[in-house]
Amino acid sequence: MSLIDAENMARTLDAQDVLAPLRQRFDIPADVTYFDGNSLGPLTLRSREVLHHTIEHEWRERLIRSWDEEWLAMPARVGNMIAPLIGAAPDTVISCDNTSINLHKALMAAVGLRPGRTEIVIDINNFPTDIYIAQSVADQMGLSLIAVPAQEIIGAISERTAVVTATHVDYRSAQILDAAGITTAAHSHGALMVWDLAHTAGAVPFDATVLNIDFAVGCGYKYLNGGPGAPAYIYVAPRLLQESGQTLQGWWAHEAPFDFDLSFRPAPGIARFLTGTATVLSMKSLEAALDIFSETNIEAIRAKSVGLTGFFIGLFDEYLAGKGFTLESPRASESRGSHVALGFAGGKALVQHMSARGVIADFRPPDLMRFGMAPLYNSYGDIVKLVEHLVAP
């Protein structure tokens, strides 16, 4: 297949793409082809509009009155917009803080629910912040952190395990972990399961309810397009909520924050996992960006994600394999998230070179180029352009 053929094929695929109209919801500069939605999603028209309204009407005009009118309910509202994307029931997800802090809360709660157990099991290839946070929880609670490769997690779980944690889609390879197998193994030994859905929500299906997981956390700025540093979220299985402790119990976690009681009474629902005041501007942008998911469904998103990454891997085989590039993501689509990683010795310089030409990807040491393929705005045509730049930078 020549690149001309690839272009023709991309045109056909783009014409058939049911999600193609959603690209109009994003304001991506004309001179940019964007493959870094796995790090920072682009601006949506709706986020711009809502931020303007938040600044000019809610903050400037309504001032403090906006807390009652609009902002106090936002963490729960945003949580309920994220819930269906991860198979969670209403009122089991809440938006707050960042992923690191939410992981701390989830792990502390899980360890608290399994007194006497002595180990936390973690994927050694987990995103570093997850490992640092888990290490800190282990140190603080006197547990050992058992870090093993994903395929060894199940074997590492035992009656000593208090909690198992892993990221559902590996941030480097895009490998999808065996959520059902690992969760079941954890439960069969009486351990709890905390999933990090940073590279899942908005791109890869996940069903917290069917999988019967215990806790999940994730961020708002990748495939959810909430904007730089958008707030994260936390999910707690309803069956665990009442008995789950929260070690960062700020006033927003109180049953009645504005009673200003001296004694802490945890909110009956998922709000008990809040801490202090929500970052309104950042959360408003996330809320606005989430709107787009009401126009489609996760099956359509997943189908296009598989289509995009599969198309790219086909072109990789044709044009890049054997030219210093290696495929570092799974070939089997059922095991692959929504980005594709290529190994390349000069990857850092190449990513920088392409970025200066408007083709934006990212790089992770030592030699991994990552190409996020976001079903809501990337096209098959974008991918041909990417390959052109990789072939002849």
The yes-or-no answer on residue 364 being catalytic is: no
At residue 222, the 3 state secondary structure works out as coil
135-142 contacts at long range (C-beta below 8 A, 24 or more positions apart): 136/104, 137/104, 137/107, 137/108, 137/111, 141/108, 141/111, 142/118
Mapping DSSP onto H, E and C, the string for 4-63 reads HHHHHHHHHHHHHCCCHHHHHHECCCCCCEECCCCCCCCCEHHHHHHHHHHHHHHHHHCC
Which one, 43 or 120, has the nearer CB to its own copies? 43
Count other Cβ atoms within 10 Å, centred on residue 31.
8
Which one, 62 or 302, has the nearer CB to its own copies? 62
CA distance 153 to 66: 47
Count other Cβ atoms within 10 Å, centred on residue 68.
11
Q: In residues, how long is the chain?
A: 393
Within residues 230-249, the interface with its own copies by CB under 8 A covers 230-232, 246-249
Which of 355, 388, 389, 391 is close enough to bind its own copies by CB under 8 A? 355
Within residues 147-186, the interface with its own copies by CB under 8 A covers 147
Q: Which of 26, 34, 35, 127 is catalytic?
A: 127
The yes-or-no answer on residue 221 being catalytic is: yes
Within residues 327-346, the interface with its own copies by CB under 8 A covers none
Within residues 252-271, the interface with its own copies by CB under 8 A covers 252-254, 257-262, 264
Instruction: Find out whether 384 and 320 touch, Cβ atoms under 8 Å.
Output: no
Q: Of 23, 73, 65, nearest to 284 (Cα)?
A: 73
Within residues 98-137, the interface with its own copies by CB under 8 A covers 98-101, 104, 124, 127-129, 131-133, 135-136
For the bound state, the minimum distance from the C-beta of residue 90 to its own copies, rounded and expressed in Å, comes to 24
Which of 55, 180, 210, 345 is close enough to bind its own copies by CB under 8 A? 55
Asked if residue 391 binds its own copies (CB under 8 A), the reply is: no
Asked if residue 72 binds its own copies (CB under 8 A), the reply is: no
Asked if residue 64 binds its own copies (CB under 8 A), the reply is: yes
Asked if residue 212 binds its own copies (CB under 8 A), the reply is: no
Asked if residue 302 binds its own copies (CB under 8 A), the reply is: no
The yes-or-no answer on residue 196 being catalytic is: yes
Count other Cβ atoms within 10 Å, centred on residue 32.
14
Q: By CB under 8 A, which span of 13-21, 183-191, 274-282, 326-334 interacts with its own copies?
A: 274-282
Q: By CB under 8 A, which span of 177-185, 204-212, 356-364, 374-382 interacts with its own copies?
A: 356-364
Asked if residue 27 binds its own copies (CB under 8 A), the reply is: yes
Q: Give Cβ neighbours of residue 287 (< 8 Å, ≥ 6 apart).
A: 50, 74, 77, 78, 81
